[in-house]
C-alpha cells in the first residue's frame, strides 16, 4: 500500500493541531552539528520541525511528498518548502549539515532514503530522526484515552510498528550518537486533543473503513468528563535516533 498521500485529507488539521517539539531537542542538535549552514527536514508535513530549525540554521529545506501538506507550510525567509519525496530530495551532493525526519522516517522506503542521506549529508554531518509516543493525559482522562487507542489500534498502518516500538528496532546504519530522553509537555483543551487525534493515520483509515470518524465517539466520551474548552496537562514522550555518516 502506498502511504504517499495518506495525510492529504488531514492537512488542515495537521498544521492546526500537531505540536512542535521541545526546545531542548534543538539545543541538543545545535551542539552536535558543527556547522549551521544548511538543514534538510524530510517528510516535513506542514513544517513544524523546519520552522524550529530555521532559528538555528542559515538555510532550511523542508520536503514532503504531499502537495496538500506543503501548501499549509508557513512562508519564512530562510526556509524553502518543496513537494519532493524523502527518497528523491533534489538536493546537491554533500550539501547538508543536518538531516531530520520528525514523526516521518517510518513512512519512508528506508533503504532508498538512507542512500539519499549518504549522498546529501556532508562528511561530518548529522542525521536525527524522532517520533512521539502516545499522549499521556491526566488520570481522570486516561481511561477514556486508552479506550480510544484500543478502538483505533487495528487501523494503524504497518510502518507505525517502529513508532510502537519507540524506534528501538528502526534500521539506522549510522555512527550513533547518544540522544537525550525528552518529553513534550503542554496544556491542551479537549478540542485540541480531538484535533490532534483526528490528524492520526489510524483515525483516517478507521474513517475510511468503518464509514465514521472515531473522533465522534471520543468527543462524546471526553465531553462527559470535561468541557471542550477546559485545559488539561499532557505529555508526549519523544523517541530519537541520531548519528553521523559512516
CATH number of domain containing 36: 3.40.50.150
pLDDT average, residue stretch 70-81: 94
Q: Does the pLDDT at position 2 exceed 50? A: no
Q: How are beta strands 96-102 and 38-42 bridged, if at all?
A: parallel
Element (H, E) at 130: strand 121-132
Question: Which of the residue ranges 17-21, 33-37, 92-96 would you say has the lowest mean pLDDT?
Answer: 17-21
Q: Does the pLDDT at position 84 exceed 70? A: yes
Residue range(s) defining the domain that contains residue 169: 8-244
In a domain, 119, yes or no: yes
Looking at residue 14, its pLDDT comes to 56
* Model confidence band, residue 7 (pLDDT cutoffs 50, 70, 90): low
- Entry pTM: 0.90
Q: Does the pLDDT at position 193 exceed 90? A: yes
Question: Which of the residue ranges 6-15, 44-53, 89-98 would you say has the lowest mean pLDDT?
Answer: 6-15
The count of structural domains within the chain is 1
Q: Which residue has the cell 523517541?
A: 239
pLDDT average, residue stretch 224-245: 94
Residue 42 three-state SS: strand
pLDDT average, residue stretch 122-141: 95
In a domain, 177, yes or no: yes
Residues sharing a CB contact under 8 Å with residue 209, sequence separation 6 or more, in sequence order: 155
In a domain, 2, yes or no: no
CA dist 136 and 234 (Å) reads 6
In a domain, 166, yes or no: yes
Looking at residue 87, its pLDDT comes to 96
pLDDT average, residue stretch 134-138: 94
Residues sharing a CB contact under 8 Å with residue 224, sequence separation 6 or more, in sequence order: none
In a domain, 79, yes or no: yes
pLDDT average, residue stretch 174-192: 95
CA dist 184 and 207 (Å) reads 28
In a domain, 236, yes or no: yes
C-alpha cell at 26: 534543538
Amino acid at each position: 500500500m502506498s502511504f504517499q498521500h495518506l495525510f492529504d485529507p488531514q492537512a488542515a488539521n495537521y498544521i492546526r493541531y500537531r505540536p512542535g517539539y521541545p526546545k531542548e531537542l534543538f539545543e541538543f542538535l545545535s551542539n552536535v552539528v558543527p556547522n549551521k549552514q544548511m538543514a534538510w527536514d524530510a517528510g516535513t508535513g506542514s513544517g513544524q520541525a523546519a520552522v524550529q530549525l530555521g532559528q538555528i540554521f542559515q538555510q532550511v529545506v523542508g520536503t514532503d511528498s504531499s502537495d496538500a501538506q506543503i501548501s499549509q507550510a508557513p512562508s519564512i525567509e530562510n526556509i524553502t518548502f518543496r513537494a519532493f519525496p524523502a527518497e528523491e530530495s533534489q538536493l546537491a551532493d554533500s550539501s547538508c549539515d543536518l538531516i531530520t525526519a520528525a514523526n516521518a522516517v517510518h513512512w519512508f522506503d528506508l533503504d532508498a532514503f538512507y542512500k539519499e542521506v549518504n549522498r546529501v549529508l556532508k562528511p561530518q554531518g548529522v542525521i536525527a530522526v524522532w517520533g512521539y509516543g502516545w499522549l499521556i493525559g491526566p488520570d481522570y482522562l486516561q481511561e477514556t484515552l486508552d479506550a480510544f487507542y484500543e478502538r483505533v489500534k487495528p487501523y494503524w498502518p504497518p510502518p507505525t510498528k517502529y513508532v510502537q516500538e519507540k524506534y528501538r528496532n528502526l534500521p539506522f546504519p549510522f555512527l550513533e550518537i547518544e540522544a537525550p530522553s525528552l518529553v513534550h509537555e503542554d496544556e491542551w483543551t479537549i478540542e485540541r486533543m480531538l484535533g490532534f487525534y483526528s490528524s492520526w493515520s489510524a483515525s483516517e483509515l478507521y474513517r475510511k473503513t468503518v464509514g465514521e470518524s472515531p473522533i465522534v465517539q471520543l468527543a462524546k466520551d471526553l465531553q462527559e468528563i470535561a468541557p471542550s474548552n477546559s485545559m488539561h496537562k499532557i505529555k508526549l514522550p519523544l523517541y530519537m535516533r541520531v548519528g553521523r555518516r559512516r
